[in-house]
Amino acid sequence: MSSHKAALQGPEHKRVPDDVHIHPTIIGHEFAGIILAVGSKWREKFAGGQKFSIQPAMSHTGTLDAPGYSYRYIGGDATHIIIPDIVMEADCLLPYYGEAFFPASLSEPMSCIVGAFHASYHIPPGTYIHEMGIRKGGKMAILAGVGPMGLGAIDYALHHQRKPSLLVVTDIDESRLARAACLFTPENAEKEGVKLIYVNTGKINNPVDYLRELSGGTGYDDVMIFAPVKQVVEMGDAILGFDGCLNFFAGPTNPDFKAEFNFYNVHYAFTHIVGTSGGNTDDMRESLKMMGEGKINPAVMITHIGGLDAVIDATLNLPDIPGGKKLIYTNISMPLISLYKLGEKGESENNKLFKELHKIVSQNDFIWSLEAEKYLLANAKPI
């Protein structure tokens, strides 16, 4: 979605240069690859043949410029790139030692989720201390939470150290809720010490009352908003409990996006709001570490795969393509295809590649994997 917003807004986007129409940039900020060559300045730290991941958020350097938005020669949607000095200076070029490429690519969106959890905060009554992070053992709601980033947030909430005791996840899309409930079952959540409840708010007359009832009437310590929709934001505000923190995670396309917030509760119930855009390098390292330890599996975000020639249509038409993240392999030619449609396409087109990929993913709950990636890279049409 971030690439779609950048393409839609052009120079109006905070990270896209004003002269992009003269000096076009390469999009794609969630990416990984292999270093081909290293200049003399960085040869002691990096080497040719080494795998890498990129942390595009370099705001700690005082700039909003980022790979995948702002630069002419670095972005994920390319076969070859030139990494500018600022990326290394900012310690945002990260060596990656995993076998598959896709986890390193997904470490960036996971780092955004990690950053959001760390940025939420609470203030003990009678103090001026900001305790960072969601409330451990608290009550948490993730609204509009079964899109790709919402799935990552559920995964992280269930498996990081500061787990809530109650996690309520809402959406209005029944099929996406059903998929989320299969990927992260209430039974497995219970083993992690978390009571997990999925709610279709589109089927409830008064969702605010219902959600507050699920919290035991207290409201929620932490509410995360995963869609830039006025009604969703206002619902989040309405279900906050005492000292509740609302994290507005979803970046809107409209620069004038507004929603009402109850300032009576800000004053008397100490409710507050925070927003995050991206994670930092430590967040990315944490996501890579948790992936390596098998604690989280962001592959659940992926619902489509494609080659470099699928990028333009996928980026421009993203809101009209249902499902989660679209994973692009930039050194192959292939149309964008849903993991759930590989079998159907394989039969109708008599396509051996699709048939074999279907066999692999269908045995893994249609979750992308190292085995699937290896087969794809070995057998797809190269660019």
Residue 20 pLDDT class (50, 70, 90 cuts)? very high
Are 236 and 316 members of one domain? no
Strands 272-275 and 302-307: unpaired
Are 17 and 149 members of one domain? no
Sign of CA dihedral 81, 84, 87, 88: positive
- The residue range of the domain holding 165 is 110-275
Are 121 and 265 members of one domain? yes
Query: What pLDDT is stored for residue 108 in this prediction?
Result: 86
In a domain, 292, yes or no: no
Domains held by the chain: number: 3
Are 179 and 133 members of one domain? yes
Query: What pLDDT is stored for residue 64 in this prediction?
Result: 87
Instruction: Express each pLDDT in 319-341 by its tens digit.
Output: 999 888 999 999 999 999 999 99
In a domain, 216, yes or no: yes
- Which of 209-213, 253-257, 300-304 shows the lowest mean pLDDT across its residues? 253-257
Query: What pLDDT is stored for residue 167 in this prediction?
Result: 98
The whole-model pTM stands at 0.84
In a domain, 63, yes or no: yes
pLDDT above 90: residue 247: yes
Q: Rounded to an integer, what distance in angstroms lies between the CA atom of residue 38 and that of residue 42?
A: 6
In a domain, 105, yes or no: no
Are 173 and 238 members of one domain? yes
Query: What pLDDT is stored for residue 310 in this prediction?
Result: 97
In a domain, 341, yes or no: yes
Instruction: Express each pLDDT in 194-243 by its tens digit.
Output: 999 999 999 999 999 999 999 999 999 999 999 999 999 999 999 999 99
H-type alpha helices, the chain: 2-9, 85-89, 102-119, 148-159, 174-183, 186-191, 207-214, 230-238, 263-268, 281-292, 311-316, 342-348, 352-362, 370-379
Sign of CA dihedral 366, 367, 372, 376: positive
Are 202 and 304 members of one domain? no
In a domain, 33, yes or no: yes
Instruction: Express each pLDDT in 59-118 by its tens digit.
Output: 777 788 999 999 999 999 999 999 999 999 999 999 888 899 999 999 888 999 999 999
351 token code pair = 């396509």
Are 115 and 180 members of one domain? yes
Angle, in degrees to the nearest 10, between helices 281-292 and 102-119: 120
Cβ atoms of 224 and 250 within 8 Å: the answer is no
Instruction: Express each pLDDT in 130-156 by its tens digit.
Output: 999 999 999 999 999 999 999 999 999
How confident is the model over 254-279, as a mean pLDDT?
Answer: 93
